[in-house]
Amino acid sequence: MEVVIVQDAKAGGELIAEAIADLLRRKPDALLGVATGSTPLPVYDALTAKVRAGAVDVSRARIAQLDEYVGLPAGHPESYRSTVLRQVVEPLGLSPDAFLGPDGTAEDVQAACEAYDRALAEAGGVDLQILGIGTDGHIGFNEPCSSLASRTRIKTLTEQTRIDNARFFDGDIDQVPHHVITQGIGTILEARHLVLLATGEGKADAVAATVEGPVAALVPASALQLHPHATVVVDEAAASKLKLADYFRHTYANKPSWQGL
């Protein structure tokens, strides 16, 4: 696992957007896995700026959703499908056909989960998966004690996650669904490159447990330690509880430039 400490969220967004641009220069039809929430927005902004500046061609890129609320009506502005269309697909000028996601409105949720795992595999697998992290260490919506081998399935959100996400629902926790479909941890680990971005002091404990704690289902993001190509990008505030912060800074500062992220 590589840990890169950046000054702030904007620098993290720029660094990850450049890694995505590099990937698309090598593989123009790459499948990019996207997280929602506040953290990855600087990545999408920086990537959109590169596209508008002509620095990268994303016209053949494909986008895959990480998770979805269950039970929001189709087209609800806070469904993750609507969110990804608004924040990623439209700004990048991609067609909605280039977009894969689980069906949070399906009557047979289990079948929808299995269909999504199949669709990801048939699309050749995710090349680069962007991840955020919950204050409780979740990735996607794999809450603490999710199986590290889990596949895409329905999960019940913790009260803390519903409180954290109420800000997207006019601050009203009653509007936040209790259930979600999320790629499982086993599914996420199949992506070729995992890039987790964490910013702000509120993520410092979760980041320290992810990077320096044991691999444990209690901290779902710690499963990144099992992946051969995982990059954790953190700002100074999110890095503030890392014991090895100086080591990570030294290693990154001396990294051969050809290696990229």
CB of 254 to ligand F6R, least distance (A): 30
Residues 6+ positions from 159 with CB-CB distance below 8 Å: none
Q: By CB under 6 A, which span of 3-11, 130-138, 233-241, 243-251 interacts with ligand F6R?
A: 130-138
Question: Which residue's CB comes closest to ligand F6R?
Answer: 132
Could you tell me which residues come within 8 angstroms of residue 154 by beta carbon, excluding any fewer than 6 positions away? 70, 109, 110, 113, 179, 180, 181
- The reply to whether 127 belongs to the active site is no
Which CB, 56 or 70, lies closer to ligand F6R? Answer: 70
E-strand spans in the chain? 2-6, 31-34, 62-65, 67-69, 99-100, 128-131, 153-156, 179-182, 193-198, 230-235
**Contact with ligand F6R (CB under 6 A): which of 66, 211, 217, 234?**
66
122 is catalytic: no
Contacts for 255 with CB less than 8 Å, ≥ 6 apart: none
Report how far residue 71's alpha carbon sits from residue 105's, in angstroms, rounded to the nearest whole number. 6
In a 3-state reduction of DSSP, which class is residue 151? Answer: coil
Among 76, 81, 138, 192, binds ligand F6R (CB under 6 A): 138
Cα–Cα dist 141/183, whole Å: 8
Query: Is 102 one of the binding residues for ligand F6R (CB under 6 A)?
Result: no
Please report how close the Cβ of residue 168 comes to ligand F6R at its closest, in angstroms: 8
If you ran DSSP here, which 8-state letter would residue 181 be given? E
From 67, 103, 117, 164, the catalytic residue: 67
The one catalytic residue among 143, 164, 193, 235: 143
Rounded to the nearest whole angstrom, what is the least distance from the CB of residue 205 to ligand F6R in the complex? 13
Residue 156 as a binder of ligand F6R (CB under 6 A): the answer is: no
Choosing from 13, 37, 102, 137, the residue that interacts with ligand F6R (CB under 6 A) is 37
Question: Is-catalytic flag, 136?
Answer: yes
- Does residue 227 carry a catalytic annotation? no
132 binds ligand F6R (CB under 6 A): yes
- Please identify which residue in 11, 23, 35, 181 interacts with ligand F6R, judged by CB under 6 A: 35
Single out the residue of 36, 146, 152, 210 in contact with ligand F6R (rule: CB under 6 A).
36
Q: How far is the CB of 244 from ligand F6R (least distance, A)?
A: 23
Residue spans of alpha helices (H) in 86-188: 109-122, 159-165, 185-188
Q: Please state, as a whole number, how many other Cβ atoms lie within 10 Å of the Cβ of residue 259.
A: 7
Q: How far is the CB of 112 from ligand F6R (least distance, A)?
A: 17
Q: Determine, following the binding rule CB under 6 A, whether residue 140 of this chain makes contact with ligand F6R.
A: yes
User: Which residues, including other chains, have CB under 8 Å from residue 103's CB and lie 6 or more apart?
Assistant: 68, 112, 115, 116, 181
Amino acid at residue number 18: E
Which residues contribute to the site for ligand F6R (CB under 6 A)? 35-39, 66-67, 132-134, 138-140
**Residues annotated as part of the active site:** 67, 136, 138, 143
